[in-house]
Structures are given as C-alpha cells and as structure tokens.
C-alpha cells in the first residue's frame, strides 16, 4: 500500500498565491518553503477554499476583520466549509492522520494568531470618509480571522482536534506551530 495516510489542511493561497488580494502575493503560485517538509515526507494536502475569492472575486479591495464581520458572510463561510469538513471527517474516521491545519497570520479571514483590524469602509470618494485616517488606523493584532473562527468551530463540532500552524502573510517562509491555549 503506497498511501501515507497523512493529510495536512492548508489555506488556499499557500497553494495558489494568485488568490491573494492584488498586489499581496509573495510568490508566483505555491508557497513551497512552509510546506516543503510535509510534501517531502509524503503528506497529502487538502486545500481550503479562499473565502474572499469565493465571495468577492478578484477585483476586491483589501479589507479588515470588521468589514468581514457580518452574519451573511459567516453563513457563506460555513457553507464553503461544509464539504471540506466532510472530507476531513471522512479521512479522520478512516484512520488517516490529520497532521495539521495551516493558517495565514495577518489575514482578516485566515489568521490564526493575528488578524487585521481597523478600516471600517464607507464611500471612499466622499470627503467625510477620511480615507487617510482610516488607513492609518489599520492594525495587526491578536485574534483569529472570520473564516478561521468558523473552521475551528466546525472542527470542534465534529470533535476533530488538529494541530494548528501559521505562516505570516507578509513573509510566508516559515511554518510556526501554534499553541492553541494562546491562539
């Protein structure tokens, strides 16, 4: 039997940097470095959907967690995640090892340890929007992204416990193990 029966679940853009908001891609396609050890060890990869590309397409602006914090978007995340959670559950029930889940720190959706706060939106052409001030208020701080929160809740509801890992959105070279007690 050739299969390794080990699976790593990864955020979409780590296997397809083309999904990033323009111009945030840091590589042409696959972010090899954080995944290299798993790939070389024969671990299979399950790619999550990119919630932003699914919901907003490729002409979207960069947004913050406050902007994605909306019941309808969370519902959409849960709908996107259901078939993936079904797959993960099927693998786990069949005795496959889920070696981890890799998120993208800094993302308003896929952040594991940190996410992006601040800009609250509005009509950008209106003088009262005060875009420079809104841009200046963008911060990165502790917290999970919206999609990650829904994913972890979905895994929890199915009693699937997986190790968490993160890469940094602006420099996804290193894979960092995340202590769930502090994430």
Output DSSP code: residue 45.
Answer: E
Stretch that binds ligand SF4, among 50-58, 72-80, 85-93, 112-120 (CB under 6 A): 50-58
48 within 8 A of 109, measured Cβ to Cβ: no
Instruction: Confirm or reject binding of residue 115 to ligand SF4 (CB under 6 A).
Output: no
* Cis preceding-peptide flag for 23 (omega within 30 of 0): yes
Instruction: Confirm or reject binding of residue 52 to ligand SF4 (CB under 6 A).
Output: yes
Instruction: Confirm or reject binding of residue 51 to ligand SF4 (CB under 6 A).
Output: yes
> x/- site string to ligand SF4, residues 123 to 152, per CB under 6 A?
------------------------------
Least spacing, CB of residue 127 vs ligand SF4, in Å: 31
Helix axes 146-157, 71-93, angle to 10 degrees: 40
d(CA 41, CA 8): 11
Strands 171-178 and 164-168: antiparallel
Report the interface residues with ligand SF4, using CB under 6 A.
Answer: 11-13, 19-20, 50-53, 104, 107, 109-110
């Amino acid at each position: 039997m050739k299969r390794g029966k080990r699976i790593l679940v990864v955020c979409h853009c780590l296997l397809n940097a083309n999904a990033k908001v323009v111009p945030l891609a840091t590589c042409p396609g696959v972010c090899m470095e954080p995944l290299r050890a798993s790939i070389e060890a024969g671990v299979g990869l399950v790619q999550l959907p990119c919630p932003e590309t699914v919901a907003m397409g490729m002409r979207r602006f960069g947004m913050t967690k406050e902007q994605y914090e909306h019941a309808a978007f969370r519902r959409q995340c849960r709908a996107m995640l259901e078939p993936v959670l079904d797959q993960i559950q099927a693998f786990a029930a069949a005795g496959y090892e889920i070696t981890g889940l890799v998120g993208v720190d800094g993302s308003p959706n896929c952040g594991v340890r940190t996410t992006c706060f601040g800009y609250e939106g509005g009509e950008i052409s209106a003088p009262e929007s005060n875009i420079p001030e809104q841009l200046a208020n963008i911060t990165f701080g502790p917290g999970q992204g919206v999609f990650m929160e829904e994913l972890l809740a979905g895994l929890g509801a199915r009693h699937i416990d997986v190790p968490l890992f993160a890469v940094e959105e602006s420099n996804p070279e290193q894979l960092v193990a995340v202590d769930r007690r502090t994430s």
